[in-house]
Structure 1
């Protein structure tokens, strides 16, 4: 089952990306859009995969883990809905989700 994610990238352009369950959201964004670098490879250590998930989708993602929370708190551009896309595994219930890529701070 393919998962469609609606993305506004760091250039302000909107596109719909399609991924498969199991991979990380960071991998999809890094490979198919602009603005997500994922320098640390998904270890929640750099913040270059910072996204803001649209409000209707935030609750369904659960709370960030401790490592993700610590890094998010260190980011200048953190807002409600901020997440590290490397910490989110693509799942069928995410299909239709909308998000915005936050430009990397480093």
Structure 2
């Protein structure tokens, strides 16, 4: 099953991406869009995969681990919709997910 993701880059460019069930969101964004670097490789250590998730999708995401929360607290543009895409594994419940890529701060 493929999962559709609606992505808005920091530049405002919109894309519709397709991902496999079980894929890591950061890897999909890094490989198919602009603006996600994922420098730490998904360890929740750099913040270069920071995204703002559309509010209607937040409750469907897995709980935020402490490491993610701590790193997001250190970023300037954190808001209530902030997540690290390296901490989100895609599944059918996230088909249609909508997000905005936040420019990397480092």
Does TM, scored on the shorter chain, surpass 0.5? Answer: yes
Distance 1:67 1:50 in 2: 13
Distance 1:54 1:86 in 2: 17
SS at match of 1:44: coil
Aligned to 1:100: 100
Q: Which runs of 5+ in 2 are unaligned?
A: none
The alpha-carbon deviation at position 21 of structure 1 amounts to 1.2
SS at match of 2:51: strand
**1:1-106 paired onto structure 2 within 5 Å:** 1-106=1-106
CA offset digits 1:64-103 (Å, max 9, x no partner): 1011000011110001110000000011110111100000
Count, aligned residues: 106
Q: CA RMSD in A?
A: 0.6
Distance 2:62 2:24 in 1: 15
> 4+ residue runs of structure 1 moved beyond 2 angstroms?
none
